[in-house]
Copies of this chain bind each other. A is one copy, B any other.
């Protein structure tokens, strides 16, 4: 069994890894730098994460767990009031909470690793499956969508959301950003219609 110290240290190291990757970029974040950032020798990091690959794999789990969290408050909300206005979750999907939750730069850097590492790919895939399942669960609560294929709908919605995030991350201008968000939100509402 792992001790409390062990789990705390591991958490601390991954957290520090994430912070540094957010600040300097994943490709510029070495084990020595993480150590300096946290005030510990690199050898201690390698005591808990024997290789860099293992370390990165844990960073990815950390990120994906966090991303999954954006839906738990909605789901909880649903359990209580038994209905949620579509605006609630569409707003949430396009809210800044995502960016607050996980830095886009770190996220896409980690994502690009799926092409060279099957375990990472599977982990990303599982996250997205869960996200879609969660969304389906939300949609299923909506009376007006009773006759629709909510599984298909959640796929279609997410593709818009993910494409939107990809595109929005290139836009610096605030006003333009908000304008685009409005467009893509409407695109999601259109999917919920008819």
Contact = CB atoms under 8 A, between A and B. Distances in A.
A102 B156 CA distance: 25
Interface residues of A, number: 38
Contacts of A113: 25
B115 A108 contact: yes
A175 interface: no
B171 A125 contact: yes
A28 to B, nearest CB: 8
A152 interface: yes
Contacts of A124: 170
Given A170-B124, A170-B125, A184-B159, A104 B115 contact: yes
Contacts of A103: 115
A166 B163 contact: yes
A158 B180 CA distance: 13
Nearest to A103: B115
Nearest to A26: B112
A19 interface: no
**This chain: how many copies in the complex?**
2
16 contacts: A25-B113, A25-B116, A26-B112, A108-B108, A108-B112, A121-B172, A125-B170, A125-B171, A128-B170, A156-B184, A156-B187, A158-B163, A159-B167, A159-B187, A162-B167, A166-B166
Given A114-B170, A125-B171, A162-B166, 14 more contacts: A25-B115, A105-B112, A105-B116, A112-B112, A121-B170, A124-B170, A155-B183, A156-B183, A159-B167, A159-B184, A161-B163, A162-B162, A162-B163, A166-B166
Interface of A: 25-27, 103-105, 108-109, 111-116, 121, 124-125, 128, 152, 155-156, 158-164, 166-167, 169-172, 180, 183-184, 187
